[in-house]
Structure 1
Amino acid sequence: MARTLEHGDLPSLARGFSLLGSGGGGTTTMLELMLADADWPLTVHPVAGLDPATPCIAAAFAGSTYLLTERIPGSDPFDELIAAAERWTGVRAGAVCPLEGAGLNGLTPLTLAGRLALVDADFMGRALPRLDQLSLFIDRVPGTVTVCGSGAGGVVLIETDRAADVESLVRGAIVQAGGAAGVVVAGFTVGDLIEHAVHDGYERALELGTAFDAAAAAPLSELAGRLGGRMLGTGRVAAVEAAPSDAYSSAVEVTADDGALLRLVARSEVLAVLRDGSLEASSPEIIVTIDSISRDILQVDGLSIARHVALIALPAPAWWTERPERLRQVTPSAFGIDGLDAA
């Protein structure tokens, strides 16, 4: 059944997508401001609620989310990308879905919901850093095209069967664009989402955000339970270190309130948590870090020394755990970090 989103749902929806970011995905403030003047209410359709033959696109911002707060996108940041995709495919889009169901990109397709049917499915179900980790690419759905802005009105269009090409070429275009750009994936239908996407991300985000708001002042253990998660620990950040063998990875040590030593391993998202050297949680589980005092949902770079934090693990999207070949793409070893995959 289709769900109607009111403007009053936006803060809870944004908080839910922030939780699904696992410490990444970018803050939602910019998108919340962009959506202030949207044509509310908006309708979100389940995958089964639309004609499966409907041509669909996915939209997102990629690159540095911090640059997006300095260079605010225009009122129609995806128009040129959608036009290029439609020229190439010869098909006009009828629906839109998120590229990733987390962080600011969970909200991004709402900017297009006034002219395209908004469908409740995405290609990650959480935040992940690489475009070659999109479910659509992992399942090798044929005929997709990816379009990225390259700055000064230019676009780069990629049609390839190799997901690694999409990742590398889009990253090059983002550098050319100045560090952040819009991305659109096209060439698929709503029917392709039935098997090749994570469903009900808006539903989950709204439920999480509503539960978080209702329990924001409750004890942290109760908050974890309301979110359907498990408490990994609370404590004070004692150290933040770059990994000596990987410039993109970091380790955050937390002195737990119960005397244990918690160690978070992160890239742009938190990938694993260890307690006294034993693995407690790892990707694709969604590891949430919350400021114990303010109850702010933290990004990885917000894990600063002396901050008091709570660590909560939320269940992984089932799509990733259904098949071993999917799971291999999102465990810590897929990021080059060995020894932290769950048994």
Structure 2
Amino acid sequence: MPTTLEPARLPALATGFALLGSGGGGATTMLEIALRDSGGWPFTLFDVDDLDPATPCLGVGFVGSTILLSERLPGTDPFGRLIAAAERWLGHRVPVICSLEGGGVNGLAPFAFPGGRMIVDADLTGRAFPALDQMSLLVDGVGGVVVTCDTGDGGVALVDTGRALDIERVVRAATVQAGGSGGMVFAGFTVGDLREHAIIGGTARALRLGEAFLSAASGPLSELAARLGGRLLAEGRVSAVEADALDPHVIAFGIDGSEGAVHRLVARSETLAFMTDGRLEASAPDLIVVIDAVSRDILEVTAVSMGRHVAVIHLDGPGWWFQAAGRLRHVLPSAYGLDELDDRSGLSRVGGVSA
């Protein structure tokens, strides 16, 4: 049944999406501030089962540099032109909206810019991922999806293709032309498509995680991890920051554990894998959350720096990715060229249905 969200739940919602960013996805601060003064409260959040499966839906989110996005505010209606272009192409209005990415700043996007549409609790990733061809509708090959994006100076590009890689490349090129960041809209699918081809309940999970984090943030780190339903992987000081010799976008962080263990965190724009004394302990699509062990700030990869005292927490990734091996291969570390960091034990989870 629909859930009514009051303004008092905004901090928990933003915190939960920060956790689901797994070190990336962009800081939620900007949209959280915008939502504090929004006249849209209270928001009604619909489950997919609350709506007719034939109802058209669209997904919204930001693409490109999240650092630029925080420096160059998106305006009061960043998706209006993009939605209008998609609706002209489709020939009808789309009454339902969801998030493209269930982690980081994009988790909040439907609430900040709903455009008078119903918000459904579904998204296309379940956590932050770097590539557009990792969106669940594209991974499952759902037909009829069209994408619109900013090209800069009021321009809009529309991509209608059956090849996911086209969307990744064309939208990236348009975003560079737009100045490095901009809006993006997926359309041409229905609420019924979300039931099978999307991650369901991500906003509800963000609320649960955010409420648990805020209630336990000042307590022991092991208790905080347990309250989140996860496990504490490490606590210690960052002692090394190294770019990969073959791929400069891959960064490895050395962490000297407080109990003498040597840890290694591997990341791109999001965290990808974590090892202790050379033993792999967690990898994508599971979530590897890094927090400041003193302030308890949730850290993005760009904020993990030499000498910082951090804690690393493992949370289960969205179960949707483990329902088929064909899905999982898109989000393992090997999808980024890091074959040796795949958690092969995760393959035993294929067929699971946990959220």
**Aligned equivalent of 1:19:** 19
The answer on 1:37 being equivalent to 2:24 is no
The answer on 1:210 being equivalent to 2:204 is no
Normalising by structure 1, we get a TM-score of 0.99
Contact 1:96 1:112 in 2 (8 A): no
The answer on 1:7 being equivalent to 2:7 is yes
C-alpha displacement at 1:329, in angstroms?
0.5
Secondary structure at 2:212's aligned position in 1?
helix
Matches within 5 A, 1:254-269: 254-269=255-270
* Distance (whole Å) between structure 2 residues aligned to residue 301 and residue 67 of structure 1: 13
Secondary structure at 2:264's aligned position in 1?
strand
* Distance (whole Å) between structure 2 residues aligned to residue 57 and residue 111 of structure 1: 15
* Distance (whole Å) between structure 2 residues aligned to residue 249 and residue 241 of structure 1: 9
Equivalent position amino acid for 1:269 in 2: E
**Aligned equivalent of 1:73:** 74
C-alpha displacement at 1:111, in angstroms?
2.2
Normalising by structure 2, we get a TM-score of 0.96
Secondary structure at 1:22's aligned position in 2?
coil
Structure 2 unaligned residues grouped into runs of 5+: 345-355
Contact 1:150 1:176 in 2 (8 A): yes
**Aligned equivalent of 2:166:** 165
* Distance (whole Å) between structure 2 residues aligned to residue 160 and residue 304 of structure 1: 41
C-alpha displacement at 1:70, in angstroms?
1.7
Equivalent position amino acid for 1:55 in 2: P
C-alpha displacement at 1:33, in angstroms?
1.8
* Distance (whole Å) between structure 1 residues aligned to residue 336 and residue 174 of structure 2: 22
* Distance (whole Å) between structure 1 residues aligned to residue 274 and residue 219 of structure 2: 24
Q: Which runs of structure 1 show a deviation greater than 4 angstroms over 4 or more consecutive aligned residues?
A: none
C-alpha displacement at 1:68, in angstroms?
1.4
Secondary structure at 2:298's aligned position in 1?
coil
**Aligned equivalent of 1:246:** 247
C-alpha displacement at 1:310, in angstroms?
0.5
Equivalent position amino acid for 2:200 in 1: H
Secondary structure at 1:316's aligned position in 2?
coil
Equivalent position amino acid for 1:236 in 2: R
* Distance (whole Å) between structure 2 residues aligned to residue 195 and residue 125 of structure 1: 14
**Aligned equivalent of 1:98:** 99
Contact 1:42 1:113 in 2 (8 A): no
Q: Tell which deviates more after alignment, 70-79 or 174-183.
A: 70-79
What CA deviation, in whole Å up to 9, does each residue of 1:264-283 have, x standing for no partner?
01000010001011101000
The answer on 1:234 being equivalent to 2:257 is no
C-alpha displacement at 1:171, in angstroms?
0.3
**Aligned equivalent of 2:121:** 120
Q: Work out the percentage of aligned pairs sharing the same amino acid.
A: 58
Matches within 5 A, 1:163-312: 163-312=164-313
Secondary structure at 2:83's aligned position in 1?
helix
Contact 1:100 1:127 in 2 (8 A): yes
* Distance (whole Å) between structure 2 residues aligned to residue 238 and residue 187 of structure 1: 48
Secondary structure at 2:102's aligned position in 1?
coil
**Aligned equivalent of 1:47:** 48
Count of paired positions: 343
What CA deviation, in whole Å up to 9, does each residue of 1:65-94 have, x standing for no partner?
111122111111111000000001112111
Secondary structure at 1:44's aligned position in 2?
strand
* Distance (whole Å) between structure 2 residues aligned to residue 114 and residue 188 of structure 1: 18
* Distance (whole Å) between structure 2 residues aligned to residue 334 and residue 68 of structure 1: 26
C-alpha displacement at 1:327, in angstroms?
0.5
* Distance (whole Å) between structure 2 residues aligned to residue 183 and residue 68 of structure 1: 13
C-alpha displacement at 1:61, in angstroms?
0.6
C-alpha displacement at 1:231, in angstroms?
1.0
C-alpha displacement at 1:114, in angstroms?
5.4
What CA deviation, in whole Å up to 9, does each residue of 1:31-90 have, x standing for no partner?
112212321000000010011111100000111111112211111111100000000111
Equivalent position amino acid for 1:60 in 2: G
What CA deviation, in whole Å up to 9, does each residue of 1:90-121 have, x standing for no partner?
12111000001110000001123350000000
* Distance (whole Å) between structure 2 residues aligned to residue 34 and residue 60 of structure 1: 15
Structure 1 unaligned residues grouped into runs of 5+: none
Secondary structure at 1:128's aligned position in 2?
coil
* Distance (whole Å) between structure 2 residues aligned to residue 169 and residue 67 of structure 1: 20
The answer on 1:84 being equivalent to 2:93 is no
* Distance (whole Å) between structure 2 residues aligned to residue 220 and residue 111 of structure 1: 32
**Aligned equivalent of 2:146:** 145
